[in-house]
């Protein structure tokens, strides 16, 4: 019985750690180079100058909130002992894969991940 209690306590601690990491990710600032639409925050305007600056015309590259949500999904599907490695790989590769979808990470999101680690 004592072993079950200890395992349960460890699982609770692991969940708390994941929740803390997710909270840090979700508290990252939004992209200051975009203007979100008031009536639909999933839509935004980005200037052509910004698109050219990063040479990336994929609008999801500029949506930090989407990247944050995908990072949280990735953290949740990763074993607690592998989270740091997963985040380090995301920083190095500049992308994550969630449900077979490759999510390119904006340099500012990568900088925030470095700050978290």
Q: What is the pLDDT of residues 15-35, one digit of tens each?
A: 999 999 999 999 999 999 999
Q: What is the reported pLDDT for 19?
A: 97
Q: What is the reported pLDDT for 1?
A: 75
What are the domain boundaries of the chain? 2-30+58-116
Q: What is the reported pLDDT for 105?
A: 98
Residues of the chain with pLDDT below 70 are: none
Q: Are 72 and 103 in contact (CB under 8 A)?
A: no
This prediction's pTM:
0.92
Long-range contacts made by residues 76-81, C-beta under 8 angstroms, separation at least 24?
76/18, 76/22, 80/14, 80/17, 80/18
């Amino acid at each position: 019985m004592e072993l079950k209690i200890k395992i349960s306590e460890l699982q609770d601690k692991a969940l708390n750690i994941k929740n803390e990491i997710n909270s840090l990710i979700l508290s990252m600032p939004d992209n200051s180079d975009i203007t979100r639409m008031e009536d639909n925050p999933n839509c935004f305007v980005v200037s052509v100058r910004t698109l050219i600056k990063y040479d990336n015309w994929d609008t999801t590259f500029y949506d930090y909130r989407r990247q944050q949500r995908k990072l949280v999904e990735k953290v949740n599907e990763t074993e607690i002992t592998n989270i740091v490695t997963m985040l380090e790989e995301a920083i190095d590769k500049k992308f994550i894969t969630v449900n077979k979808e490759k999510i390119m990470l904006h340099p500012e999101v990568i900088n925030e991940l470095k700050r978290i680690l």
